[in-house]
Structure 1
Amino acid sequence: MTVPLSILDLAPIAPGESVAQSFANSVALAQTAERSGYRRVWYAEHHNMPTIASSAPSVLIGHVASQTSTIRLGAGGIMLPNHAPLTIAEQFGTLASLHPGRIDLGLGRAPGSDQTTMRALRRDPGSADSFPEDVLELQAYLCGESRIAGVQAVPGAVDVPLYILGSSMFGAQLAAAYGLPYAFASHFAPDLLHDAVAFYRNEFTPSAQLAEPHVIAGINVVAADSSEHAQRQFAVTRRARVRSLIARGPAAPEYTDEQIDIFLTTPNGRQIANMMRYAAVGDPAEVRAGLDAFAAEAQADELILAHQSPTVADRLRSVELAAGALVAA
């Protein structure tokens, strides 16, 4: 079972690396994805995270779009309660005017960070409650049919397809009701994947944008020339994920790899490891088998891959090998 492949890029900032280098890496990743036949690259809105540079997806999308030619680029996603719908319509209307037919807009309702950062964003704690209405307001601006008399998005009335992102039943319900594509964050929140996708497919209502349900499912990927090399890379990434969750702040202890591996055998450690349980890791044949099995299990129409190799060179190689494995099979 072969489905289209896309990529989620968090613009990671490696230890000792500058933000500018992170953005250069994102350009290289998108260019490699374009050459390798991926459908799209998405960038996720995160704030106050020292290892993630994708805090302003619309700016990053514009930068990468200017250095690529055909691949679709988008937000995966914009955390809409952090923003006025008009502002996002203007930003993505601008992008779509500059790069016609290449811009996507995925929408989520989480803050993209912690509660303190949410306050710094001037976000009302109850703003997520209006997410369904905000999606409709944004959609109307992009269609040139404003829901607020006398207000229009300029640039607006452009072709920017919307996607609902989620890791719970809420997103599935909204995407089904609005007739929008649904992207499930199974690469880090896998538990409700099957229930959410089943509900979305069963309850989907066709819309002007979409006649049939379309499911995008996230999966972690490390493809390497040998299975052993891939497994070593994935172990490094998994330890880094654990460290980011249990050792926060300037006074946080520095755990050794051995301590992290021991922690992973505890109930709390296994719970964190479970966040990355959907992963295709290995040589090209193993990765192809893993992707095919996951696509079937998730009933996915498209997979969005979070390439988890710790270095940019290995990440670019993973991008090439994963795509090549599907083409060659």
Structure 2
Amino acid sequence: MTVNPTFAEALPTDPAFLADVRAGLSAPRKHLAPKYFYDAAGSDLFEAITRLPEYYPTRTEIGILDARGPEIAALLPPGAALVEFGSGSTAKLRRLLRHRPDLAAYVPVDVSGEFLADQAEVLRADFPDLPVLPVVADFTRPFALPDGLGAAPRAGFFPGSTLGNFEPEEAEALLRQFGAILGTGAMLIVGIDLVKDAGVLEAAYDDAAGVTGRFNLNLLTRINRELGGDFDLGAFAHRAVFNAQASRIEMHLVASVAQTVRVGGDRFAFAAGETIHTESSYKYTLASFGALARRAGWEPATAWTDPAGLFSVHALRRR
């Protein structure tokens, strides 16, 4: 393979990123962590994905929040502090806020301080009576809530089916952590994608316009740029398949030919047809997610779905 000198001579900017890529590409079954999808280009591509006709989760969850918003908001304790884990766009949050003007505070949690500050500024302008208290933190790790919440009851918000991107035992551990942060008696509103026809699922992750494929391949572009890689993007193809036994969609990058790739001074051999597993997205039934929540110390209160049964929003109460 011809080495791109610009990429090959680049200096790694993130030692953890480099260590994770080395470990993933050295594994018997190559894999990369999906959290590395989201550089600026990856984030823009994901926003484009959410608007695709095949990608039902975003619009379906918003539809549930529109239709059931008053019922969902009514389960939040009066005067609650609402903590959103991994806050993104406020589009879904606003569908709850308009039904609960009595919230004591809104606490968005995200690793991007600049993004949080921008979103908080917009939200304060639209809801001037709502204290917005951002926390810059990785929600997958323990973090402290702001001191200004006082004795306000806690509630959590985790939309977007993000929990499905974790292995089931990791998802259980994450729900336990949310419970430890929010405390006994807290409510948690969480979005969960449901098991459905494999064709519908695979189309959602392999759209006709190829946007998801570009999103997947952008991970290799990022490795080239930031870690001195020399991946030939033309020698890899996007694949999305539903693994029914594991109840998950898997995204892979498939090597079209035998090749050797260099990253950060190391070389990694690929056989023709060998894949890099880049993401798993687990799908649940109402019953299987309820069982997972109970194992994590939460009691399912109620759940809402769209008429077609594509997606679900769950209210959980911390035991």
TM over 0.5: no
Instruction: State which structure, 1 or 2, has the greater radius of gyration over its C-alpha atoms.
Output: 2
Say which structure, 1 or 2, has more relative contact order (CA 8 Å, 6+ apart): 2
Question: By percentage of residues, which structure has more strand?
Answer: 2
More helix by share: 1
Question: The TM-score by the shorter chain falls in which range?
Answer: 0.3 to 0.5
- The TM-score normalised by the length of structure 2 is 0.40
